[in-house]
């Protein structure tokens, strides 16, 4: 019987297999940031261990960093300590770091691909659940906890049990105004936040093949919100063209060898997935979340649901609580929901194509006076690219704020936060209670919906303009 893509990558990385024990898996790339590494470095120091492969390790600063005044010392002393700690640790252990102000600095899952470090067939880990993003390249990429970070540092391996496999087949063509963000939000609404638990998801089908690498990254990024450990998309010409010429892309004879290997990274025709889910791309519409987990989403053209209509007791209770927290009433049209803050950014939708898409909607118009808009490029390179295209002027002229790169408002950890009760339309990936700031209310949206919302003041899609 044939193998799925995930199984092929797994087998290629098993260092040791023994009965009754987890497989020991080799890790090709370890990405590090300031939040989940300090205790891991401490652990190495306490046990007198070194990083086994600093040449397969790279660090950036993203979660705790401000997106303004980055030339000045970080104002919050606790944040400053954490970032300083990462810098000291990288210097001590010999890890290349791209600090605030460095041209390669940015959100870790934007930095890996833009440097060409993320390549097909690799195992990639980071102390961050959205590591699944790199699966867009046909890599097996997943988030790990701090103890596992320490384990990878010391051994360049992880003891793991092979996951089950789930195929998500998306056939058809997206209608205008429907994006990869809407695909993944629809998938999560369909299978639930626990639906992918224990599985690696492989996204297949004509609608997936049509997506650019950035579109694929958006989808793989949110695999974790469906409960999956990782999500991936088989590499193809789109993938190879993206990687070619990037700083760490193989060159010359190595490029040819790489292509030959990467071309084998396809699920075999006779392989069997443990589960298969189908989605018709033709039926998809702009999607938004109304509740407090990424699975509580609906097409924008709908109303806030009535918990009484939900059969399952758990889901009904969760919906009731969500409506209270989000201060929403059943039956309210989603398009009438007033927004205070629009956030365009994050490892989900902070890349150049996302900024271009939003800028095209906003160009020569003004955002609604009732809200503010924060535009945060995913990396310094994305920012520079956007500025060379004049996108920054488009956003600033419209009344939005143009920032430096970082995780920013995705999570309430750096200065970019919602105040209690504020309501956002956010191109990020999580709408949990308090995620963007204590008492903050988050609606997850695509960059197109974010842009249209910024102009109209309520949740909107470009078709409403």
Partner 1 sequence: MEKFIRHTGSAIPLRRSNVDTDQIIPAVYLKRVTRSGFEDGLFSAWRNDPDFVLNKPEYKNASILVAGVDFGTGSSREHAVWALQNYGFKAVISSRFADIFRGNSLKGGLITVILPQVEVEAIWLAIETDPKTQLTVDLESRTVSYGNVVCTFELDDYTRWRLMEGLDDIGLTLRHSDVVTSFEEKRAKFKPKTLPALAE
Q: How far is the CB of 323 from partner 1 (least distance, A)?
A: 15
Q: Which residue number, 146 or 302, has a Cβ lying nearer to partner 1?
A: 146
Task: Supply the minimum distance, in Å, between the C-beta of residue 208 and partner 1.
Answer: 23
15 or 463: CB nearest partner 1: 15
For partner 1, the closer CB: 1 or 18: 18
CA distance 126 to 351: 20
Closer by beta carbon to partner 1, 121 or else 447: 121
| 408, two tokens | 């920013």
Q: Which is nearer to partner 1, 434 or 457 (CB)?
A: 434
> Residue 73 or residue 331: which is nearer to partner 1 going by CB?
73
Report which of 263, 123, 282 is spatially closest to residue 200, judged by C-alpha positions: 123
Q: Closest distance between partner 1 and the C-beta of residue 321, in Å?
A: 8
Please, which residue, 254 or 280, has the CB nearer to partner 1? 254
Distances, alpha carbon 274 to alpha carbons 22, 37, 139, 259, in Å: 20, 34, 20, 29
Nearer to partner 1, 20 or 331 (CB): 20
Minimum Å distance from CB 402 to partner 1?
Answer: 24
Q: How far is the CB of 63 from partner 1 (least distance, A)?
A: 8
| Nearest Cα residue to 239 out of 345, 137, 98, 170 | 137
To the nearest whole angstrom, how small is the minimum distance from the Cβ of residue 7 to partner 1?
A: 18
Residues contacting residue 178 through CB under 8 Å, at least 6 positions apart: 281, 284, 285, 286
CA–CA distance, 301 with 334 (Å, rounded to integer): 7
Name which of 211 and 407 has its Cβ closer to partner 1. Answer: 407
Instruction: Name the minimum Å distance from CB 198 to partner 1.
Output: 6
Least distance (Å) between residue 129 CB and partner 1:
4
Whose tokens are 């842009």? That residue is 451
To the nearest whole angstrom, how small is the minimum distance from the Cβ of residue 442 to partner 1? Answer: 11
């Amino acid at each position: 019987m044939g193998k799925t893509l995930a199984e092929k990558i797994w087998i290629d990385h098993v260092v040791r297999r023994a009965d009754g024990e987890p497989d020991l898996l080799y890790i090709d790339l370890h990405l590090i940031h300031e939040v989940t590494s300090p205790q891991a470095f401490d652990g190495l120091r306490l046990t007198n261990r070194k990083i086994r492969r600093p040449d397969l390790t790279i660090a950036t600063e993203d979660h705790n960093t401000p997106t303004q005044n980055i030339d000045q010392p970080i104002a919050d002393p606790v944040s400053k300590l954490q970032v300083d700690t990462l810098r000291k640790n990288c210097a001590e252990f010999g890890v290349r770091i791209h600090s605030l102000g460095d041209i390669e600095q940015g959100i870790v899952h934007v930095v890996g691909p833009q440097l060409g470090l993320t390549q097909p067939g690799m195992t990639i880990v980071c102390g961050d659940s959205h590591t699944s993003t790199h699966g867009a390249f046909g890599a097996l990429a997943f988030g790990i906890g701090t103890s596992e970070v320490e384990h990878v540092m010391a051994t360049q391996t992880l003891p793991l049990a092979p996951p089950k496999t789930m195929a998500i087949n998306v056939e058809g063509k997206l209608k205008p105004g429907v994006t990869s963000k809407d695909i993944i939000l629809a998938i999560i609404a369909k299978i639930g936040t626990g639906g992918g638990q224990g599985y690696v998801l492989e996204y297949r089908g004509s609608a997936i093949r049509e997506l650019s690498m950035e579109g694929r990254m958006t989808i793989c990024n949110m695999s974790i919100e469906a409960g999956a450990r990782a999500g991936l998309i088989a590499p193809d010409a789109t993938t190879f063209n993206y990687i070619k010429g990037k700083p760490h892309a193989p060159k010359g004879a190595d490029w040819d060898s790489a292509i030959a290997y990467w071309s084998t990274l396809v699920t075999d025709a006779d392989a069997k997935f443990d589960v298969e889910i189908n989605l018709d791309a033709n039926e998809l519409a702009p999607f938004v979340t109304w509740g407090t987990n990424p699975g509580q989403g609906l097409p924008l053209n709908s109303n806030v649901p009535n918990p009484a209509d939900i059969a399952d007791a758990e889901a009904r209770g969760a919906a009731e609580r969500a409506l209270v927290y989000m201060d929403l009433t059943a039956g309210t049209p989603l398009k009438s929901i007033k927004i205070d803050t629009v956030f365009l950014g994050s490892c989900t939708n902070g890349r150049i194509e996302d900024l271009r898409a939003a800028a095209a909607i906003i160009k020569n118009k003004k955002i609604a006076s009732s809200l503010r808009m924060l535009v945060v490029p995913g990396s310094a390179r994305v920012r520079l690219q956007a500025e060379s295209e004049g996108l920054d002027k488009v956003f600033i002229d419209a009344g939005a704020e143009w920032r430096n790169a970082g995780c920013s408002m995705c999570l309430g950890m750096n200065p970019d936060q919602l105040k209690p009760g504020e309501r956002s339309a956010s191109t990020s990936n999580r709408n949990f209670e308090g995620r963007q700031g204590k008492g903050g209310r988050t609606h997850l949206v695509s960059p197109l919906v974010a842009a249209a919302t910024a102009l109209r003041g309520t949740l909107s899609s470009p078709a409403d303009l």
